[in-house]
Structure 1
Amino acid sequence: MNIVVLVKQVPDSGAERSLAGDGNTVDRTGGTNVINEMDEYAIEEALRLKDETGGQVTLLTVGPDHALESVRKALSMGPDAAVHVSDEAIAGSDALGTAKVLAAALGTLEYDLILSGAESTDGGVQVMPHMLAELLDIAALTGARKLTADGDGFLVERQTEDGYEVVRASGKAIVSVWDTINTPRYPSLKGIMAAKRKPVTAVTLAELGVPAGEVGAAGAATTVLSAEPRPVRGAGQRVEDTGDGGEKLVEYLAAEKFV
């Protein structure tokens, strides 16, 4: 089975994040960029399926040159190769523009299954699998907590707020996964050394046949009108217990509509 895993480099959610000079996009030039956490679970699931069925796992990412750092780290987990789409014209793309680029890149690859994280920590819109399924005319099985290769298709337990749904798709599919699906492996020293020798194919928009005017900020179908920094957290209300602390606490909770 040939599996493609979508990988995204994102700003570390545990570090201070800021907007770029335009005030409307995330600053990605700092040294705190990492693999999107959910994508690590997708990589682990791809490797598990490869162990069961054979085949190859290929990573696919869209991003600037420094995204290659995260690709190499992802390769150290065990995938066989990677494709890195890098082009200055892509900067500022919205989800639809990114989907167009990914779909064009996927059109050059042989795959039976596409895996991705359920969401990215810098966007969290959860639309990419659906957009790619539409552009590629394949099934989308999203929010998986369990994935099984099932004959000529795939069986998924789809996580919901009330439990899970069991859904199946025949033929090629894209599956997004939650962090409940597995526990990603830690790269070994052998894996880290091997990742340096694994092939990473660099691709541009021109090579994919994607017009530059259809992506980037200029080609975006959505626009950020404004962005404001998070307000400074104010001081809390202190309740002094002079014998009636419990009553004061209940009054405060009631005023704030907690009770």
Structure 2
Amino acid sequence: MELDLLSLSSVRSFAEVWMQRALSLDVLINNAGIYKSGEPQTFSKDGIELQMQVNHIAPTLLTMLLLPSLLRAPSPRVINVNSVAHLEATIELESWNSKVEQGKFSGFLTYGSSKLAQLMFLKTLANKVAQQRENAGFKCIAVHPGGVGTNIDPMAYIAASIGLMFTPAEGSRSVIFCAASEDVTESLNNGFAYYSYDCKPDKISPLAYDTDACCEVWQKTMEILGVDHDYVSHLLDNN
């Protein structure tokens, strides 16, 4: 099955093929990401800034479309690979799909913002499910895997090869822990938890506790996706 996060139509096609199987889905790991530090602001064919699309918008669309399948499972988990870069980030909603004034765009800051938006949306999703269906067993976990040498950054790959960063196999440990361990249940708050590379709970941005800010992220995301803001509530009512 082909899936290209730079194309929302590809995400929809992937989800449609999966949903035709009418299977339950126990774990969804949103692992893909891009980092465009030092590059000019660039938009996908969907009109969304590239990092925001791949790191937040597209995996969120995938999660929403696969949510019926996840809710069929007895104890489903959504794992989003996040980053400590979200801690210093802010949310600039207008820059998600609008041109920023020349000289004011920062790829590094936008990367952090995309990870913060991803985390805030995931936390809100967990809260919505927990409030409407207390015993759903639905878990949403964001995890920072540490500095990992992947092709997201060629220099990081070199650093990993000489032992200065985690290899991809080492970096996957915390993600696998969050996907499989029962210990994460103890750290859940309204169905949500955030873990670090050492497989231990960690702090998140204060913005993620701002209900109004999280609501704005939710609404902006759903608006871009063309999904009704009350989609999750309606889905839970009908399942």
Pair in the same fold by TM > 0.5 = no
Please state which structure has a larger fraction of its residues in helix. 2
TM-score (norm 2): 0.26
Q: Hey, which of these two has a bigger chunk of strand by percent?
A: 1
Structure with higher Rg: it is 1
Calculate the TM-score normalised by the size of structure 1.
Answer: 0.25
